[in-house]
Amino acid sequence: MNFTSNFTVFLKKNNSINRIDLGKDYSINQDYFPQNTETFNISFTKDNYLSDDYFDESKDYFVMKVSSDGTSDCIDAELFMRYTGDLSSRPDVVIISYIIYAILFLLGLLCNGLLIGSMVIRKRKSVANIFLINLAIADILLCFTTLAITPLVSHKKVWLLGAFICKIISPCQSICVLVTSYSLCFIALDRYRSIVTPMKEPYSIFQAQIFMIFMWFSSIIISIPSFVTSGLKVISSDAATLCGEFCGELYWPSPQIQTGYGVTLVFVQFIIPSVVMGFCYWHILQKVREDWIVNKGSMLTQAQQAQTAIRKKRVMYVLIMMVFVFLGSWAPLTLCNMARDFGVQLTERYFITLCANIIAMTSIITNPMLYFWLSKRHRRALKDDMFWLTNVRRNQQNIGILDQFEPSSLLYKKNYDPLTLSSFNHTNRRGTLADPTSNTRDDKLEDVKAACFLLVPIMPFCKEKRLSNTGLRRGSNNSNNPQYTTRNNMYGNNLAVKNGRTGW
């Protein structure tokens, strides 16, 4: 048929889009012209209005939406991006991205929800747990502010959730990312203070709460420019006007201010936390290596020395992973944001940003895995919680051979490193996941039999086996370690108890 209304054709030529406005009398030789056609072949009648240069190496042409009176109105952003070869608009990429985001969303809620639930059920109030709970809360908020929205925006391109959500979504994401980064920093600093400088008084619970309040308040202040400049805007150019409104930080007073804020945010959110975590975990790693050296006069057998070496390597790997997981997760998205702030044009901006965002969001799963679920104490506590919630009888007694094993402390005391022993018994010294050279006194009750059986010299508490029947000899002056009594779980192991529930 001959279509003789006003319309606009876009031609892709040398990686650029050329716009041609045709009059009513210009014919397109097309047997069928569906109203909702996205792309189709057009045979043009050659005349003076168009030159051959526009059509070389071009077969598929993109036509703008046509209004009821036959005049061109606007072009659909999704179709336009698909025509220009944007990978994020491909149907297979869209399906895969939705599946990945759904998996990350569910696993993120599950891992962090169980972490918070385990803390709340057992009422575990300590410095490390305050930092962990803040980390989990920030990760859950990221699930709702990022994982639930990013795939929709990457697919549709235009904003569909209204002006209010557009105004708050960017600062909310910024706040959550900042809280996540500095929660990891405070966890590293807490471990550094407990392990590398054990003679210093550790952070109190009150100090940890002040740190967290200050961290949230500072994150909100830093995110104010993002709130002010965020909004909806119609995107248009000389070539086309895209249908719908786009959401983003689109109202900066000048490009220089946008660039300055972007650079500042990179330093505050990525570079400073990376340096702090690298410094702390490097010194912790050196301390662990020094404390785990087996002396030549040690009574450990080769098998026991090999077991000690395996445990040392495991802790070293975990420490290294904590730094590299943070760097690997956030570096790609940080680079994408810097490219945007500096005005660098990426050929596949939506697709590259989508991939970088997926990599960054894996941190909501790796964080609870590295900082919580790798701890045997937390896994045992969760298992006990599951038994408690399902009304399983918890006073079963399954006494094995290790429960009856009580080696003499005099046999191993002469091999202890005096420095390690003194720092171990220091009342201010607290055990953490990254500190295998020191266990808290309540943790001794859980691991004493296995540790004595392995004859590991860095755990000199076999002499305190009698605590399993009498309770702890004295309470720590550390506010993070409250008074405990003991009870048996369903496996016959003695566990520390606070307020009638099993502690850790």
User: Do 178 and 299 reside in the same domain of the chain?
Assistant: yes
Residue 310 lies in a domain: yes
Decide if 304 is inside a domain: yes
Got the DSSP string for 18-72? Answer: EEEEE-TT--EE-S---TT--EEE-EEPP-TTS-GGGTTT--EEEE--B-TTS-B
> Does 497 have pLDDT greater than 50?
no
| Rounded mean pLDDT, 357-366 | 93
Task: For 366-403, write each residue's pLDDT tens digit.
Answer: 988 887 766 666 666 666 655 555 544 444 444 443 34
Looking at the structure, do residues 252 and 177 belong to the same domain, yes or no?
yes
Task: Give yes or no: residues 66 and 93 share one domain.
Answer: no
Q: Where are the alpha helices (DSSP H) in 37-161?
A: 77-83, 91-122, 127-142, 150-156
Residue 350 shares a structural domain with residue 392 = no
Of the residues 46, 73, 100, the one at which a domain ends: 73
The answer to the question of residue 58 being in a domain is yes
Query: In the prediction, which pLDDT does 127 show?
Result: 87
Give 184-235 pLDDT, tens digit per residue.
Answer: 999 999 889 888 888 888 888 899 999 999 999 999 999 999 999 999 988 7
Of 16-20, 31-35, 202-206, 295-299, the one with minimum mean pLDDT is 31-35
Q: Mean pLDDT, the chain, as a whole number?
A: 69
CA terminus-to-terminus distance, the chain: 79
Gap between the Cα atoms of 255 and 299, Å rounded: 68
Share of the chain above pLDDT 70, in %: 53
Residue 1 lies in a domain: no
Residues 6+ away with beta carbon under 8 Å from 305: 294, 298
CA Rg, the chain, in Å?
31
For residue 198, give its domain range.
Answer: 87-367
Burial class of 387 by CB neighbour count within 10 A (0 to 12, 13 to 18, 19+): middle
Distance CA 298, CA 308 (A): 12
Task: With respect to residue 82, please indicate whether it lies within any of the assigned structural domains.
Answer: no
Residue 79 domain flag: no
Which of 47, 73, 99 terminates a domain? The answer is: 73
Q: Do residue 201 and residue 347 come from a single domain?
A: yes
Q: Choose between 436 and 62: higher pLDDT.
A: 62
Helix (H) or strand (E) holding 502: strand 501-502
The answer on 138 and 271 residing in a single domain is yes
pLDDT tens, residue by residue, 453-476 = 333 333 344 444 434 434 444 444
> Within this chain, do residues 283 and 159 fall inside the same structural domain, yes or no?
yes
Residue count (the chain): 504
CA dihedral 209, 210, 215, 216 (to 10 degrees): 70
Of all residues in the chain, the percent with pLDDT exceeding 90 is 28
Dihedral, CA atoms, 426, 431, 437, 442, nearest 10 degrees? Answer: 80
> Helices 376-389 & 91-122, crossing angle to 10 degrees?
80
Q: What is the pLDDT of residue 309?
A: 67
pLDDT band at 499 (very low <50, low <70, confident <90, very high): very low
Residue 261 lies in a domain: yes
Let me know whether 306 and 447 are in one domain. no
- For CA atoms 381, 440, 212, 264, the dihedral sign is negative
Beta carbons of 430 and 202 less than 8 angstroms apart: yes
Tell me the two tokens of residue 347.
């050929």
Q: Which residues, 6 or more positions from 361, have their beta carbon under 8 angstroms from its beta carbon? A: 101, 104, 108, 142, 146, 147
Domain count, the chain: 3
**Same domain, yes or no: 349 and 400:** no
- Can you tell me which residue has the tokens 């998996």? 103
Please say which residue of 307, 340, 367 terminates a domain. Answer: 367
At 293 the pLDDT is 57
Q: Are residues 193 and 330 in the same domain?
A: yes
- CB count within 10 Å of CB 398 equals 11
On whether both 134 and 275 belong to a single domain, the answer is yes
Q: Dihedral of CA 300/306/310/313: which sign?
A: positive
Q: How confident is the model at residue 154 (pLDDT cuts 50, 70, 90)?
A: confident
For residue 452, what are the CA distances in angstroms to 34, 70, 503? 81, 87, 22
234 shares its domain with 361: yes
Helices of type H across 196-204: none
164 part of a folded domain: yes
CA dihedral 270, 273, 278, 280 (to 10 degrees): 180
